[in-house]
Amino acid sequence: MSRHIKILISAAWLSALLTVITVADLWSQEEQVKPLGGAVVDPGFGLGANFPAGDLSARYGGNLNFSVSPSFITAKNWILQGDFIYLFGNNVKEDVLAPLRNSSGLIPGDDGQVADVFLRERGLYIGLGGGRLFPLRSGNKSGIKAVISGGILQHGIRFVDERNSIPQLRAGRSKGYDRLTRGFALKETLGYKLMTRNGRMNFELNFDFIQGFTSEVRAFNFDTGLPTNKSRLDLLFGIRLVWNLPFYLGSEEVVYY
């Protein structure tokens, strides 16, 4: 699939999603039961995709993520939010097992067969931050959400050796190849939050930008025999769809007949 086709598919998906959000918001205005004001405990569960930049793009391609984001929205629409974002992907560009390969590019296992090994990206972001919700109309909490947070970004390579046939990866020796990286990170999130007045549809469409000021954890890499990199700038651009389960605190409900 060409790059242009992928862009067109992504644009069509985003347009359809925005249409659903608009229709849902208009539908919610017609509901008879309308929660008003008050604070909200608002946990969220999300799925998304990230595109790497900076030093991270030399090691990995795009990845997917699953997130858990507990948050608290005050009656004045200030936000306190935590984030746990688990990153996973199959596109590892850096071949850390290159010294183990033969002239055909294969890795012989100690069972006399070609090793069946796969490299996977794994990582996470854990952070805490604050921001504000800007409602698009008075009396509800649907609108533009802006949050900035600080935390820890970690990523590394996971090895899947189907037959456990590579001795260099057994008994913890994979740590010399896994490029485990960790450090302080900032995350900015800008999105649209929908909280329907009947409480039946509550979700967010968020755009994330993560800047990780990281370093590799291991002392040196087995494949190169060189010390690890102690200064990296790992960047992630992402989009997430988050489903919320709000609990209204101190809200009153007005029922119209």
Q: How confident is the model at residue 17 (pLDDT cuts 50, 70, 90)?
A: low
Domains of the chain: 3-248 (2.40.160.20)
Q: Return d(Cα 212, Cα 227) in angstroms, integer.
A: 20
pLDDT at 241: 96
Helix (H, G, I), strand (E, B) or coil at 90: coil
Got the DSSP string for 11-73? HHHHHHHHHHHHHHHHHHTT-SEEEESSEEE--EEEEEEEEEEEGGGGTB--EEEEEEE-EEE
Token pair belonging to 7: 């862009």
- Residues 248, 40: contact at Cβ < 8 Å? yes
Burial group, residue 46, by CB count within 10 angstroms (0-12, 13-18, 19+): buried
> Mean pLDDT across the stretch 97-110?
92
pLDDT in tens, 38-97: 899 999 999 999 999 999 999 999 999 999 999 999 999 999 999 999 999 999 999 999
* Contact criterion met (CB below 8 Å) for 81 and 128: yes
Kindly provide the residue ranges of all beta strands, DSSP E only, lying in the chain, ordered along the sequence. 33-36, 39-41, 44-54, 63-69, 71-73, 78-89, 117-135, 143-161, 181-195, 202-216, 232-244, 247-249, 252-255
**Residue owning tokens 């979700």:** 203
- pLDDT of residue 145 exceeding 90, the answer is yes
